Amino acid sequence: MQFRFTLHRTDGSARRGTFHTPHGAVDTPAFMPVGTQAAVKALTIDQVRSTGAQMILGNTYHLALRPGEQVIRDMGGLHRFMGWDGPILTDSGGFQLYSLAQNTKVTEQEATFRSHIDGSLLALSPERAIAIQEALGSDVAMVLDHVIALPAADDVIRDACERTIRWAARCKAAATRSDQAQFAIIQGGLDPELRVWCTMQLAKLDFPGYAVGGLSVGESPDEMVRVLDVVCPAMPADKPRYLMGVGTPQDLLNAVRRGIDLFDCVMPTRNGRNALAFTDEGPLRLRNQVHQRDERPLEQSCPCLACRHSRAYLRHLFLADEMLGPILLTHHNLTYYQRLLADARQAIEQDRFVEYMEAKVLGWRNRTLTNGQSCKSPDQWSG
């Protein structure tokens, strides 16, 4: 069996497992850096690997537009094309139904996008989404789902949820590669009953993995947690569980506590490019005057490239508009996320995850930042 999920230990609902793929094993819970266009922004593949990343993510919609899936197939597949020999997950393009909604038309048959690059049309049906991902050669292909913005009317949420289930069945029927696993995506907005119903319907189709989608689209962190509280217990226990597009360090630990295994988010890379560093003291905004003569690294124990330098030097790089600044802070933030979840895995193995999480949250909320502000809200994780 090329794909297998082994659950080694639980601590409450938190899970420590291993997801086995043709390109290697992933220790879970795990964070996947986002490489939308076959590149993790600001970093080389070797730098991505040095953060501790085990698996990365690409995007079907963007890669189909450029360079085109046939180009990538002819170049030996996505792994060879980008030089990454570990597991790769590709999103189906469903998120772009939300993010590019003003340029998208959705029917029962397919979604039609008007390219954000040149205005050309791209028709993406469930079958086409799988064909593209098979040409890319990713280890995990996400089914095409219908993502909508929240809040939305009940009938709109239900319609998108039901379409997601029908499209998932079409994706599974379209599969031809035995070396690529499909993950289904649970929708249903913030309606707990609809979310559980969707989970049960998708479980009947017996996918190798399941994802919680349709979050980080306008809801609050508390609303997201309430969704996970009802969805996670309904998800198959013997399959990997993936929370799509989430989120802050606190979001990740909240989700791990409820049984999520895999994550991706642009937050560490996007904030790194904008001079915000994640630390155990909460976010550090490197453009602030307080760092001008600060000789300390971002964190004493961090092995990343940025922490070989002072905060003063990192601040200088951003104020001087040097490209090295975003590179170093991106490397730090991704390293921080990997350390966060590596320590979470160890805490689960030692039956102390709740204590680990509480200590982290206490540090983020109560420690005074170098600029005199306290991190009391998840909103302060953004730059």
CB atoms near residue 223 (< 10 Å): 14
Q: Which two tokens stand for residue 122?
A: 């791209």
Q: What is the 3-state secondary structure (H, E, C) of 324-359?
A: HHHHHHHHHHHHHHHHHHHHHHHHHHCCCHHHHHHH
Residues 6+ apart with CB under 8 A from 99: none
Are 38 and 72 in contact by the 8 Å Cβ rule? The answer is yes
Distance CA 305, CA 307 (A): 6
- DSSP for 82-107 reads HT--S-EEEE-SHHHHHHTGGGEEE-
Query: Considering Cα of 254, then 10, then 24, then 339, what sign does the dihedral take?
Result: positive
Closest residue by Cα to residue 290 from 375, 370, 383: 370
Query: Considering Cα of 380, then 31, then 128, then 174, what sign does the dihedral take?
Result: negative
The residue from 91, 139, 251, 261 that is catalytic is 91
Q: Is 179 a catalytic residue?
A: no
The residue from 251, 261, 264, 294 that is catalytic is 264
Distance CA 266, CA 99 (A): 14
Helix, strand, coil percentages for the chain (3-state, nearest 5)? 45, 20, 35
Q: Is 343 a catalytic residue?
A: no
**Catalytic site residues?**
91, 264
